[in-house]
A = this chain, B = another copy of it.
Amino acid sequence: MFVDLPLDELREYRPAIARPDDFAEFWTSELAAARQFDPPAEFRPIDTPLAGIDVFDVTFPGYGGHPIRGWLLLPRQMAADAPVVVEFVGYNGGRGDPLEWLLWAGTGHPHFVMDNRGQGGGWRGADTADPADPGEPSSNGFLTKGIADPHRHYYVRLYVDAARAVDAVLAHGASAGRAVVTTGASQGGALALAAASLHDRVAVVLPDVPFLSHPVRAVQITDAKPYGELAEYCAVYPDRIERVFHTLSYFDVANHATRIRKPALFSVGLIDEITPPSTVFAAYNRISGERPKEIIPYPFTGHQGGGIRQHREKLRFLARLDLTA
C-alpha cells in the first residue's frame, strides 16, 4: 500500500527546491518566440448531437507556430459573468470527442479543451502532432524526450502551447468581459498551473492532483509511471542524473507556483502513487499571496482524485470570488 506523509506533515511540507537563476528569462524568451507565429486561431463550428451547446473545432498556433487543436464548447445560455474555463488533459490523452466534455458547458461556462501534441495514444485520442521533437534516445513516453536541454524538452512545447491556448481563447468573442480559469488533472493540473504562471490573464487556477511537481521527491517514493520514466532513463544513463533534474526544474510546477498570486483550489489524493501527495503539497504550499487558496484532501483516494465532488468544490470556490474580468 502506498503511504506518503501524514496529512499534518503534508500541510507543513516545504522542501528546498532548486530554481534555475534564469527561470524567468527562460520563459519570457520562449513565450516571446512562440508569439511570433500569429495566424489567428481558427474556430470551425461543427455539427454535434448536443442540444443547447455550440461546439467549435479550434486550431491555434502553439510552440513553434505548430497547429494545436482544441474544442470550444459554448452553451447557448451563459451568465454574463461566468468565467471561461480552459482545461488541459492528462498524460497521453487527447481532446477526444466533444461529447466527453459536458460538465463545464452544462453548468453554463464557455469551455475550451486543449489537445496534447503527440499524445493521445494512451486512453483518449488526440488530433495534434508534435513535429518538433529532436528524436534523441529517451525512455518510452514524454518525460525524458529532449531531456538534455530545457529548450528542446517536450514540456517546453506543451507548456508554451498551454499559454498560447489562453491567447487563443481570449481571441474569441465569447471571452469578452470574462475571467479566465485554468483547470485539469494530473498533467492537466501541471498545465493549468503553468498557464497561470505564464499568462497574466489567468485569474484563477483549479489544479487536481497535479503532475510535474517536485520530481526529485517523486522518484524517491514511487516508481509508478509517468514519474517512473525518469527512473528508467536515469538507470540507463546514471551520469546524466543531474542534467535530467536541472532540465526538469524549468517545468517543476512547484517553481511556477511561487509566481502565482491568484486564487487557487487544489485537490489531492492521500494515497496517490502517481502524483504522490507530498509533491502536490510542495507546489500548493508555495502558492503565495493574500488571495484565497485552498486544498481538498481525499484521504482514501488515489490518482482518480475527487471526481464530481471536486467539480462541485470548484463551482463553490468560483462562486465566492469576484470574477469580473
Contact = CB atoms under 8 A, between A and B. Distances in A.
Contacts of A308: 96-97, 99-100
A192 interface: no
A292 interface: no
Residue of A50, A121, A311 with highest tally of chain B CB at under 10 A: A121
A315 B49 contact: yes
Nearest to A99: B308
Interface in A65-113: 75-78, 92, 94, 96-97, 99-100, 102-103, 106-108
Contacts of A300: 219, 230-232, 234-235, 238, 241
A118 interface: yes
A134 B133 CA distance: 9
A161 to B, nearest CB: 13
A3 interface: yes
Interface of A: 1, 3, 6, 49-53, 75-78, 92, 94, 96-97, 99-100, 102-103, 106-108, 117-141, 144, 219-224, 230-238, 241, 271, 298-301, 306, 308-309, 311-312, 315
13 contacts: A1-B221, A50-B106, A51-B106, A96-B308, A102-B102, A117-B135, A122-B140, A122-B236, A133-B135, A234-B299, A238-B300, A238-B301, A238-B306
